[in-house]
A and B are shown apart, each in its own frame.
Chain A
């Protein structure tokens, strides 16, 4: 009888451990997989990349919005601080940053309602000097920056894509 009590106790304990371990690993795992797939598709780091208009044929993430133009930048603050900028326009738009656990750790409006002058992301405890007016954010490891702009038709999508050339995503420790 004692043997079965012990087995039941071990079963419950290991169930709890397995449950929590897998649960906590899922977001990081999914984000790492998403980053890997982007890398495999040739999305470089430290460079804004505009996506094609979202269609059934071009979708790469779940529940993409076909009404928005997306630009994405992959980075890793382990390699040094990163500067992000993106110009405002007169339609809805935002710049958001996600950490490796999928948390939305920063967001700025790009519709002219806020005076966004850039963001410097750095590793915790390693704050660099930020360009004038830029905000700073501490977060560990790799991350993704995503610009969304309202673009419900081809013309607005092309206009939003053109703004990518005026945006910055660069490692401040790298020499140009």
Chain B
């Protein structure tokens, strides 16, 4: 009996520790670690195991949590940036200018998500910027838009609203990506640049 109770206690604690560590690595507890076939280009990160049958169980669990029903990389790739060009976390207390050029894909879009991976709860109708809007600027190889909690920029300036987003990220979706992007992403992709224009004191 003296041996039994320590063993039972150890077994229960072990199961709990195993379950919690799995939930943490899957991103169900806190954000967990970054895992998998990671790709990073100038601060924008992606995971090309998303949607693949071969995705290891950690990637599979994280994708189920953060990107359920995501597509394979041959169909679409997703890059996410959560920091500006100075390395500060993106915040709805700040105003940013996002700029870029042509992207190596048939069509692309940039969407803002809050810390819970949801569209921010506002009614501004300014959720994303895309290739069509870039073409509408007349300079699809040199476009920019503003990210801010209020539309008070220059007249006609394209805007994406960060109102009620808290700490947020931007997701770049590249649909039907070029082969070059899939083989040499560091060379093929010139990702958008996120520059902070203004920040309320102590926000960043």
Query: Is B28 positioned at the interface, with any CB of A under 8 Å from its CB?
Result: yes
Q: Does B204 contact A (CB under 8 A)?
A: no
Taking A27-B61, A92-B106, A152-B130 as contacts, is the C-beta distance between A63 and B117 under 8 angstroms?
Answer: yes
CB pair A14–B3 under 8 Å, yes or no, is no
Known: A30-B65, A67-B111, A92-B176. A23 touches B9 (CB 8 A): no
> Complex formed: what's the CA distance from A7 to B26 in Å?
27
Of all chain A residues, the one with the shortest Cβ separation from B121 is A56
A107 engages B72 (CB within 8 Å): yes
CB <8 Å contact, B15 and A15: yes
Interface string of B95-120 (1 = CB under 8 A from A): 00000000000110101010011111
A8 near B10 with CB under 8 A, answer yes
**B122 on the interface (CB 8 Å rule)?**
yes
**Which one, A20, A23, A146, contacts B26 given CB within 8 A?**
A23
Does the CB pair B15–A18 fall under 8 Å? yes
Residue B2 interfacial (CB < 8 Å): yes
Report whether A18 and B3 are in contact in the complex, using a CB–CB cutoff of 8 Å.
Answer: no
Q: Report the bound CA distance from A10 to B57 in whole Å.
A: 24
CA distance A14 to B121 in the complex (A): 42
From A82-90, A94-102, A115-123, A163-171, the one touching the partner chain is A94-102
Cα separation A17 to B18 with both chains bound (whole Å): 7
- Is the beta-carbon distance between B64 and A102 smaller than 8 angstroms? yes
B137 nearest CB across to chain A (Å): 14
A171 to chain B, nearest CB (A): 22
Given A34-B68, A61-B69, the answer on whether A104 and B119 have CB atoms closer than 8 Å is no
B93 within 8 A of A: no
Q: Tell me, in angstroms, the Cα distance from A57 to B49 when the chains sit together.
A: 30
Size category of the B interface is 35 or more
In the complex, what distance in Å separates the CA atom of A94 from the CA atom of B72? Answer: 12
Distance to closest chain A CB from B175 (angstroms)? 5
The 8 A CB mask of A47-74 against B (1 = contact, 0 = none) is: 0000000111101011111110000000
Question: Which among A22, A104, A150 is the interface contact of B107 at CB below 8 angstroms?
Answer: A150
Indicate whether A160 reaches chain B with its CB closer than 8 angstroms. no
By a CB distance below 8 angstroms, the chain A residues around B58 are 23
Q: A7-B10, A96-B75 are in contact. Are A64 and B68 (CB under 8 A)?
A: no
Bound complex: CA A19 to CA B52 (Å)? 22
In the complex, B194 has a CB within 8 A of chain A: no
A19 touches which of B6, B22, B121 (Cβ 8 Å): B22
Q: Report A-chain residues with C-beta under 8 Å of the C-beta of B53.
A: 103, 105
Minimal beta-carbon separation of A73 from chain B (angstroms): 12
Q: Are A6 and B18 CB-contacts (below 8 A) given A63-B66, A102-B64, A144-B69? A: no
Identify A18's interface contact among B19, B117, B122, CB under 8 A. Answer: B19
Instruction: Report how far A105 CA is from B95 CA in the complex, Å.
Output: 41
The 8 tightest CB contacts between A and B, nearest first, are: A18-B18, A14-B14, A19-B18, A22-B22, A104-B51, A18-B15, A7-B10, A11-B10
A19-B22, A57-B121, A103-B53 are known contacts; what are 8 more A-B pairs with Cβ within 8 Å?
A10-B7, A14-B13, A18-B15, A18-B22, A21-B18, A21-B22, A63-B171, A65-B111
Residues of A within 8 A of B (CB): 3-4, 6-8, 10-24, 26-27, 30-31, 34, 54-57, 59, 61-67, 92, 94, 96, 98, 101-105, 107, 144, 146, 148, 150, 152
